[in-house]
Amino acid sequence: LENPNNLEIIKAIIGLGQILDLRIVAEGVETQEQLESLQELGCDLAQGYHLGKPMSKKQSEALMTSFGADPKA
């Protein structure tokens, strides 16, 4: 989001998604600043190293179970 051209592209993509009533997911979020900027722009969801490192199936199932979710659902 530091490059002005990239920022304009991101704004356009989020705007188009909103017009089409789609949920917008940002991938590759690596900093709190990026997350906050995306939220301010109207991005619905995010994923990336800032939010969690890649994990094995076993690790992800344990995480889901810890929140009361059924990992098999």
Asked if 27 is an active-site residue, the reply is: yes
Distance CA 63, CA 36 (A): 24
Distance CA 37, CA 7 (A): 10
2, 8, 27, 30: the catalytic one is: 27
Sign of the C-alpha dihedral computed for residues 66, 48, 59 and 57 taken in this order: positive
**DSSP count for the chain of H helices, then E strands:** 3, 2
Catalytic amino acids? 27
